[in-house]
Amino acid sequence: MRSTILGILCCLTFAACTIAPDTVVMKDVDVSNWKESVSVEFNNDSEQVRNLSITLHVNSRFQTEQIALQVKMYSPDSLYHVEQVHLPCAVEWSQPTASSIDIELPYRQGVRLKCKGKYLFEITPLTSIAGVEAAGINFQANK
């Protein structure tokens, strides 16, 4: 009985160690008005498929229903990709006393970063946005 329990615990520990956690990379921005580029790095060490979400830490001044961004991606092999995206931003304040929350805006699904190494992402709002305290990307393992 004891060896069975130890075996189960070892299997659970091994399984927990092999599941890739989400990687959220964020940088602070000008709290009064976000208008400058934010650069975040992601160190890719596998060809795992990922879902990417723009992550914003916002306060009660954030009243935007849609956000327009330019996203540039630089790969380790010196290639880059630039695109403009318009993402809906439905903010729901679960607690009336909350002063800030994190929101996730789905950006790209099923992305495979083929090169190993550091990817650089630059996120730039196309118009200034009030109420954003930090911006970045969630590199979520596609399960």
| Residue 1 within any structural domain of the chain | no
* Confidence band of 97 (pLDDT split at 50, 70, 90): low
Of 6-10, 38-42, 57-61, 93-97, the range with the lowest mean pLDDT is 6-10
* Structural domain for 123, as ranges: 20-141
| Residue 99 within any structural domain of the chain | yes
The span from the CA of 75 to the CA of 56, in Å, is 23
How much of the chain, in percent, has pLDDT values that exceed 90? 61
| Residue 41 within any structural domain of the chain | yes
| Residue 108 within any structural domain of the chain | yes
- Provide the domain count of the chain: 1
Q: For residue 20, what pLDDT is reported?
A: 47
3-class SS string, the chain: CHHHHHHHHHHHHHHHHHCCCCEEEEEECCCCCECCCEEEEEEECCCCEEEEEEEEEEECCCCCCEEEEEEEEECCCCCEEEEEEEEECCCCCCCCCCCEEEEEEEEEEEEECCCCEEEEEEEEECCCECCEEEEEEEEEECC
Q: Is the pLDDT of residue 4 over 60?
A: no
| Residue 10 within any structural domain of the chain | no
| Residue 8 within any structural domain of the chain | no
| Residue 131 within any structural domain of the chain | yes
pLDDT in tens, 9-46: 344 333 333 444 568 999 999 988 999 999 999 999 88
Residue 118 sits in a domain whose CATH number is 2.60.120.790
Q: Greater confidence, 128 or 2?
A: 128
**Predicted structure pTM score:** 0.79
| Residue 96 within any structural domain of the chain | yes
Residues 6+ apart with CB under 8 A from 1: none
Q: For residue 92, what pLDDT is reported?
A: 76
